[in-house]
Amino acid sequence: MSRKVRLGTVSMILNNKLSGMEYYNNMVESAEQILTEAANEKPDLMVLPEYFAHAQLNYEMKRKMAERIPDSDAPLQAKMSELARKLNSNLVYGAVEVDGDKYYNVAVVLDRKGGYVGKYRKVHLYPGERAFFTPGDEFPVMDLDIGKLGVALCMDIHYPEMWTIMALNGADIVAHPAGWMDYTGNLCESLVNARAVDNQYYVITSHFVQVPYLSGKHPGHSRIVDPYGRTRADTSHLPGYAIATVDLDQLYEYWAKGDLKLEMPTLKECFLGMRRPELYGQICEKDEEKKWKLKNPIIYEKE
């Protein structure tokens, strides 16, 4: 079989000189400009960064601009729905959700007509986010017209368990909106490649970028990564978009022969089919002892 689709990702300039509504409006306008340009490439799915219009807002402004989700009349949702329709593409974007007295870092998924498909609430919060956001507790896999989509946000990249759960639930693609600052130059790249290979699906990661890029800044480098761990399209260290045509049925073919090849035609059957979950119970237990914790970590910056 063949399921060829066009997957796209976006890098957006993060301007530290802007704040408040000036920043918010600038980012919404930038998203519209980039997605409008991308429409000529006829993508089937586009991904924007983690809470792209809220990243530079302080907590007071985040509260003010948070939206109930779904709410088709809410300003950001209405605008993103309009852009999905114009683009004729499924769309994933990061936002801030309010639900009662709780706030969530979320990724919202829209279909080609701008209709609400679902949301993912970030499970693994960055330490600095915990004072404001409530963590999510689900790993949804959503049905799109091109296949099954899982979603992770930024810090989630460090927790392979949830990525495997999405694979077990049938994800063909995982969207990874992020607000990553890469201090080594290749840390996020290595992690994304590993998640794609281990779970034998496509990963779309979307980042902010600061130009000119230096290590320790937002790197851009938004990518589409295939199950071989190879980059199929990349924005480099620049703002803009990247799109790749991929075949969701083309995974990493296993090199076995005969009956074993029939049992395991690709590494998806091998990696997921040969798991030993009966041995992994410790991962799900409360870790009271913290045996992994260093007694005397070397720290240079004390304050």
- How far, in Å, CA of 96 to CA of 121, rounded? 9
- Dihedral angle sign, alpha carbons of residues 234, 236, 237, 238: negative
Q: 80: part of which helix (H) or strand (E)?
A: helix 75-87
Alpha-carbon distance values, 47 to 58, 97, 223, 286 (Å): 24, 18, 10, 35
Among the listed residues 62, 119, 122, 217, the single catalytic one is 122
Crossing angle of helices 187-199 and 160-168, rounded to 10°: 30
Q: 122 catalytic, yes or no? A: yes
Per the CB < 8 A criterion, the answer to whether 6 and 146 are in contact is: no
Per DSSP, the three-state class of 81 is: helix
Crossing angle of helices 20-38 and 75-87, rounded to 10°: 10
Among the listed residues 50, 67, 97, 189, the single catalytic one is 50
- How far, in Å, CA of 171 to CA of 28, rounded? 29
Among the listed residues 97, 154, 188, 217, the single catalytic one is 154
Which residues, including other chains, have CB under 8 Å from residue 247's CB and lie 6 or more apart?
2, 3, 4, 5
- How far, in Å, CA of 206 to CA of 5, rounded? 18
Q: 92: part of which helix (H) or strand (E)?
A: strand 90-99
The answer to whether the peptide bond before residue 70 is cis (omega within 30 degrees of 0) is yes
Q: 154 catalytic, yes or no? A: yes
Active site residues: 50, 122, 154
